């Protein structure tokens, strides 16, 4: 691996698995590009468009071009592993931001949230909201992403200590408002008043659904969100959403560029490693409810 690379000559390949996924993706990508430009890096963004073949070809293209480093905002944890191994063989350090790859991938560092802890914090919020008993429906974001897998595992870990809380319905919503709304509308038709204590979403897309439920007389259901958009903040202040766990896409993007820069400058270790050997640079995950939302600005639009 080449170190001591001057920032004004550093070339970084940046793959986003879907640059138009949502406002979180937009904020994260913008932060990476801004931070890279501020350091004089040449950051080349490729939008994977949600297509596995496009993403794999993009990373292999970065390797063939001989970039100094590769930064991945990946989709599922396994698709890019063969290309990441090819990068490691060429001595090109690979970093992941927000979403991670499976442990076997030779990744130098992951920068982002501890999604297991994210799920645990959502679980504790849920217990605070409904107590020790109740039926819960779960919106799981985009299945197969590292965030969905780890958040669900963290939530289940907490609920394992509260046997009176039962997950009675679960559905993927692809992190989108319209899909979440349609699913919640179906659940409200399926579960009569008093039979469902809460709906928990692993992302912010549940806010419109929470408002819809309230407007249609279903304030018997508590809603717990993930992330802290301006829409979620308003829903918390209105009382439609009980609370959420906060992650900041701009912070993660800026920190990712900082880590890449330090490795290329030789200021930090960047040897590719899998599993426990992977460096994890974790950002904080504060919790927001109606008690403190007025004093906490939204993390992104």
The pTM (predicted TM-score) of the whole model is: 0.91
What is the per-residue pLDDT for 1? 53
CATH fold, domain 7-113+249-282, is Rossmann fold (3.40.50)
What is the per-residue pLDDT for 267? 72
Q: pLDDT (tens digit, 9 = 90+) per residue, 177-224?
A: 999 999 999 999 999 999 999 999 999 999 999 999 999 999 999 999
What is the per-residue pLDDT for 274? 56
Between 278 and 61, residue with greater pLDDT: 61
What is the per-residue pLDDT for 268? 65
Given a contact cutoff of 8 angstroms between Cβ atoms, the answer to whether 296 and 245 are in contact is: no
What is the per-residue pLDDT for 275? 57
Taking 70 as the threshold, does the pLDDT of residue 270 lie above it?
A: no
Percent of the chain with pLDDT over 90: 89
What is the per-residue pLDDT for 2? 54
Using DSSP, state whether 97 is helix, strand or coil. Answer: strand
Cβ contacts of 64 within 8 Å, gap of 6 or more: none
CATH fold, domain 115-246, is Rossmann fold (3.40.50)
Average confidence (pLDDT) over 32-43? 97
Residues 12 and 45: their CA atoms lie apart, in Å, by 9
User: Which phi and psi angles does 116 have, rounded to 5°?
Assistant: -65, -45
How do the domains of the chain map onto residue ranges? Answer: 7-113+249-282, 115-246
Bridge-partner residues for 243, per DSSP? 224, 289
Q: pLDDT (tens digit, 9 = 90+) per residue, 117-135?
A: 999 999 999 999 999 999 9
Taking 80 as the threshold, does the pLDDT of residue 8 lie above it?
A: no
Equal CATH topology for 7-113+249-282 and 115-246: yes
**pLDDT band (50, 70, 90) for residue 142:** confident
**Exposed, middle or buried, 70 (CB in 10 Å: 0-12/13-18/19+)?**
buried
Q: pLDDT (tens digit, 9 = 90+) per residue, 163-175?
A: 999 999 999 999 9
**pLDDT band (50, 70, 90) for residue 276:** low
Q: Chain-wide mean pLDDT for the chain?
A: 94
């Amino acid at each position: 691996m080449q170190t001591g690379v001057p920032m004004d000559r550093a070339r970084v390949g940046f793959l986003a698995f879907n640059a138009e996924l949502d406002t979180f993706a937009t904020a994260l990508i913008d932060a990476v590009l801004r931070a890279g430009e501020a350091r004089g890096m040449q950051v080349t963004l490729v939008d994977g468009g949600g297509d596995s073949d496009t993403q794999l070809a993009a990373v292999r293209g970065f390797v063939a071009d001989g970039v100094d480093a590769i930064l991945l905002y990946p989709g599922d944890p396994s698709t890019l592993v063969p290309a990441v191994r090819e990068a490691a063989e060429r001595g090109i350090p690979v970093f992941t931001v927000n979403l991670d790859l499976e442990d076997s991938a030779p990744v130098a560092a992951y920068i982002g949230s501890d999604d297991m802890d994210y799920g645990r914090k959502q679980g504790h919020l849920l217990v605070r909201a409904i107590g020790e008993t109740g039926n819960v429906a779960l919106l799981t974001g985009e299945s197969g992403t590292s965030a969905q897998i780890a958040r669900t595992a963290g939530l289940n870990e907490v609920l394992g200590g509260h046997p009176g809380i039962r997950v009675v319905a679960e559905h993927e919503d692809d992190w989108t408002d319209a899909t979440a709304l349609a699913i919640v509308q179906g659940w409200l038709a399926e579960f009569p008043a008093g039979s469902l204590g809460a709906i928990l979403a692993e992302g912010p897309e549940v806010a419109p659904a929470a408002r819809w439920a309230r407007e249609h007389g279903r304030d018997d259901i508590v809603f717990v969100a993930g992330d802290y958009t301006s829409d979620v903040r308003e829903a918390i202040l209105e009382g439609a959403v009980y609370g959420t766990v906060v992650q900041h896409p701009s912070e993660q993007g800026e920190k990712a560029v900082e880590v890449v820069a330090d490795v290329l400058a030789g200021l930090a270790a960047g040897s590719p490693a899998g599993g426990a050997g992977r460096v994890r640079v974790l950002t904080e995950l504060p919790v927001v409810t109606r008690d403190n939302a007025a004093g906490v600005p939204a993390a992104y639009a």
